[in-house]
A and B are shown apart, each in its own frame.
Chain A
Amino acid sequence: LAKTTQPISMDSYEGQEVNITCSHNNIATNDYITWYQQFPSQGPRFIIQGYKTKVTNEVASLFIPADRKSSTLSLPRVSLSDTAVYYCLVGVYNQGGKLIFGQGTELSVKP
């Protein structure tokens, strides 16, 4: 199982771009990288997923270098409502792996 390492917490201000980096040095060839967001009192919510290079959707961008040993979630122009815990996951559960959540990064956006 590819273990992930993320910063425990980050602070930002409204309107700023936030980049959260996740390290996964022993990522396997078949592993995908997935990010989830969790608000208090809610279940985690899928944000974005990628395998290599760059992926962008209406919520965020995901940057993955060629060696895939890390990934960076980029949130453009955050608002107060982006205050949440962000989890980086690596794995492919349907090939015998498991989706294991680490401790996540607690992002606090201030006015």
Chain B
Amino acid sequence: DAGVIQSPRHEVTEMGQEVTLRCKLISGHNSLFWYRQTMMRGLELLIYFNNNVPIDDSGMPEDRFSAKMPNASFSTLKIQPSEPRDSAVYFCASSLDRVSGNTIYFGEGSWLTVV
């Protein structure tokens, strides 16, 4: 399996522009997580889905951020409008939901710079 695939790997955009980050889950996985990582705040959980349904979005910073799962294998994280403080690495991770513990698999991240 190719693992969790994220795109773009790197993006530089101007303040006010819309940013869309994409994620393809590992085949067969049914849970999807979006994390954000910065030096100051470490790894923050933004939102996670189970079977395409958002379970907890309490980590989403504000209304400028939105995430969707249009199908079982794909997700997008959108920032509109973007601001310089959104600059971070955004990780997508997926997992197979099971009762006896769980392991989440991360993608390589999308490095976002908002200038």
Contacts and interface: CB of A to CB of B under 8 A. Distances in A.
* Chain B interface helix/strand/loop/mixed: strand
A34 B33 CA distance: 16
Interface in B50-101: 50, 56, 91, 93, 95, 97-99, 101
A101 to B, nearest CB: 4
A94 B97 contact: yes
Interface stretch (A12-20, A42-50, A61-69, A72-80): A42-50
B102 A94 contact: yes
Interface string B28-39: 000101010000
Interface residues of B, number: 26
Interface residues of A, number: 22
Contacts of A103: 42
A43 B42 contact: no
A42 B107 CA distance: 8
Given A43-B107, A94-B31, A51 B101 contact: yes
Interface string A65-104: 0000000000000000000000100001111001111111
Given A98-B56, A100-B45, A104-B42, A44 B106 contact: yes
